[in-house]
Amino acid sequence: MKSLPHKKRKHKHGSVAPIGVTFPKLRNGEIAAVATGGDKRNFCDSFRANSVRVLFGLLEFSGHLHQTSKLFPIVQETFRTAGMQAFSARDINESDAMTEVCLRLNRSLIDATGRAHACPAFLGCYNEDLGTVCYVNAGHIPGLVKHSSDFSELTATGLPFGLFSHTTLEAGIIALEPGAAMIVVSKDVVEAESRGEAFGLRGVSASLRNFDGESAQDLCISIIQAAQQYSRKAKVHELTALSLIRRIT
């Protein structure tokens, strides 16, 4: 997919910008993602599978950058093709459909690399009619959901992609009440350090708790900048955040 131009936000620890793909518009919410330093290790994408379902995903690659860049178009093609085929009908079992998408993504990564290549991933399908997210956490940093009175932590439901060809991942489902916000971040966000102590999920949770805006993009930016400010390093690369907000109607 051709990258689209975007406006960067300058920060003393580096630039923060929307990723180079256009995320779909939601009729009762907003989904967005941002990254720093021209992130080349973390793949992030979202697309509309049908009139009520939007798929999104964040995958993290390891290895040399020149090898990683070759995986991006393969992953996007598989993600979108498998997602459209599995989720296009209105009457489906979303958990089964998500498992099928994960199976095809996992195999495409193994075929592309020809070897074991651990790739933590977080994939989700937002159902606009129900306000629910069917998700798979393949050995990834837990996602967080802020409800009106508490938080939910979306922990791993299986192993990372790229390790075993027949790995089957279980899908979970969570309801987003109007006003709820979901955030998924790359590992470098939680691993940002200050005096030997990591920013961690605690830092992400605190930033999410204190966020009082309405924009999914601004939520991503606020959490990444909080991690940058916490670490106080001149350069903190490869930070990516993806957010989904269900609006109060």
What tens digit of pLDDT does each residue of 86-136 get?
A: 998 989 999 999 999 999 999 999 998 887 788 999 999 999 999 999 999
- Element (DSSP H or E) covering residue 160: none
Complete domains list, the chain, with CATH: 16-246 (3.60.40.10)
* pLDDT in the model for residue 50: 95
* pLDDT in the model for residue 117: 80
* pLDDT in the model for residue 230: 93
DSSP symbols for 60-79: E--S-HHHHHHHHHHHHHHH
d(CA 47, CA 106): 19
* pLDDT in the model for residue 235: 55
* pLDDT in the model for residue 236: 58
Would you write out the chain's pLDDT as a tens digit for each of its 249 residues? 333 333 344 434 456 666 667 899 999 999 999 998 655 688 999 999 999 999 999 999 876 544 677 888 999 999 999 999 999 898 999 999 999 999 999 999 999 888 778 899 999 999 999 999 999 999 999 999 999 999 999 999 999 999 988 777 899 999 999 999 999 999 999 999 998 899 999 999 999 999 987 799 999 999 999 999 998 764 556 799 999 999 987
* pLDDT in the model for residue 166: 78
DSSP symbols for 178-222: TT-EEEEE-HHHHT-EETTEE-HHHHHHHHHHH-----HHHHHHH
Q: Is 249 exposed, middle or buried (0-12, 13-18, 19+ CB in 10 A)?
A: exposed
